[in-house]
Amino acid sequence: MSEATKTLRTPGGHLMVLTEGDDLFAELTALALRADIPSASFTGFGFAGKVSFGFFDFDKRDYDPATFENREMTGINGTLAWKDGKPSIHAHGVGGGPDFKVSGGHLLGLVVGRGSLEVTIAVHDTRLERREEASIGANILRLPGA
């Protein structure tokens, strides 16, 4: 399926439906470039074949990662902005397995599993940048004047 058929223009932005094997971050990046999205907020849910979460270690200035397979993602929340001329995604997610126990955190990556992942994207009209906050080593979304 071509990239364009994975998304639909809506009054508020875009609706994205991903299927098995699709990479969430790659698809959001492609959409941001294709539609030249100044900035956006998104929510999503669906089935992840593989999902990686991270918890930020401020001493190491990096994320301690963990990867889970076959999770029903119950909620993904994120924003889309730009950094160094490229789309910059920040997202968190939570999801459960067959025992309905859930785990989650900062989303490092997600590949859709058997089934689908539906993402609703609300587009904003101001171009926003993410910049690294030197004091903490993490990227922060900058609003105009901030």
Instruction: Find the shortest distance in angstroms from Cβ 93 to its own copies.
Output: 6
Sign of the CA dihedral with 54 first, then 55, 56, and 59 last: negative
Sign of the CA dihedral with 5 first, then 117, 19, and 130 last: positive
Nearer to its own copies, 1 or 86 (CB): 1
* Nearest of 16, 19, 29, 104 to residue 67 by alpha carbon: 104
Determine, following the binding rule CB under 8 A, whether residue 11 of this chain makes contact with its own copies.
Answer: yes
* Contact track, its own copies, 117-136, x by CB under 8 A: -x-x-xxxxx-x----x--x
* Nearest of 76, 90, 19, 20 to residue 44 by alpha carbon: 76
Instruction: Find the shortest distance in angstroms from Cβ 33 to its own copies.
Output: 19
| CA within 13 Å, CB half, 11 | 0
Determine, following the binding rule CB under 8 A, whether residue 78 of this chain makes contact with its own copies.
Answer: yes
Site for its own copies in 100-119 (CB under 8 A): 100-106, 114-116, 118
Instruction: Find the shortest distance in angstroms from Cβ 18 to its own copies.
Output: 10
Determine, following the binding rule CB under 8 A, whether residue 140 of this chain makes contact with its own copies.
Answer: yes
Site for its own copies in 36-65 (CB under 8 A): 39, 41, 43-47, 53, 55-56, 58, 64
Q: Which tokens go with 110? A: 């997600």
